[in-house]
Structures are given as structure tokens and as C-alpha cells.
């Protein structure tokens, strides 16, 4: 069975803190909202375009949603879409893959398969 993956976009400083500390409590927005904002593969490009425009050094963390357990909730958010929200700190151990945010020829963020 294929793993169901959710994604978290990290700034360069958030990525450095995650690697250093082994845990990530969330961005300032995440902490303010009380959960870590995540995206599905289909939502990543719009999330990067909306919240990270013009930023360099972004990293894409791929997370097996089963590892997150019941603290991962699917909730209505932007434009009525259902987004994954994680209520807890993200640990480095929960991440199955980290890759730089890059775009394909069509301008979509590339989601690297494992």
C-alpha cells in the first residue's frame, strides 16, 4: 500500500532549526493558529505562491501521515479546501524526505517521489 504523504514548506531558518533541534514547533503563523499548516501534493504550489513568494532556500518536508496519528486533522481552510493541520510539534523523525523547493517547466513545485 502506498504511503499517504502530507507536506510542510519550511523556510531556510525553520529548516536549520528543525535539523539542529530535531523538532519544529511551527512557524509564527502556525503557533498563532495553534497547529502546523500542511498541504497535500496538489496544494503545495498554491501554498508556496501565496505564503512564500520571492523567498529562496525553501525546503519541502514529506511526512507519512500515519506517523502523525490522530494529531493530524483534515479541516476546511483556504477557499473551502480541506487541508491537513497537525496539532503538535513536528519531529525530524516523522519526516521521510526533505528536498529543496524547485519548480518544473509548468511552474509547479516538484514533488519528488520516493
What's 41-105 look like in SS3?
Answer: HHHHHHHHHHHCCCCCCCEEEEEEHHHHHHHEEEEECHHHCEEEEECCCEEHHHEEEEEECCECC
The full set of domains in the chain, from first to last, is 5-100 (3.20.170.20)
Contacts of 49 (CB under 8 A, 6+ apart): none
* Predicted pLDDT of residue 2: 54
* Predicted pLDDT of residue 1: 44
What pLDDT, in 10s, does the model give residues 45-77? 999 999 999 999 999 999 999 999 999 999 998
Query: Which segments in the chain show pLDDT lower than 70?
Result: 1-3, 113-114
- What's this model's pTM, rounded to 2 decimal places? 0.92
* Predicted pLDDT of residue 3: 62
Amino acid at each position: 500500500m502506498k504511503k499517504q504523504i502530507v507536506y510542510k514548506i519550511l523556510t531556510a531558518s525553520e529548516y536549520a532549526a528543525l535539523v539542529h533541534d530535531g523538532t519544529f514547533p511551527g512557524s509564527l503563523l502556525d503557533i498563532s493558529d495553534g497547529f502546523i499548516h500542511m498541504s497535500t501534493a496538489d496544494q503545495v504550489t498554491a501554498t508556496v505562491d501565496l505564503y512564500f513568494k520571492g523567498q529562496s532556500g525553501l525546503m519541502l518536508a514529506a511526512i507519512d501521515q500515519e506517523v502523525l496519528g490522530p494529531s493530524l486533522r483534515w479541516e476546511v481552510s483556504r477557499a473551502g479546501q480541506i487541508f491537513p493541520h497537525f496539532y503538535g510539534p513536528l519531529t525530524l523523525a516523522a519526516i521521510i524526505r526533505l528536498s529543496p523547493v524547485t519548480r518544473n517547466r509548468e511552474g509547479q513545485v516538484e514533488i519528488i517521489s520516493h
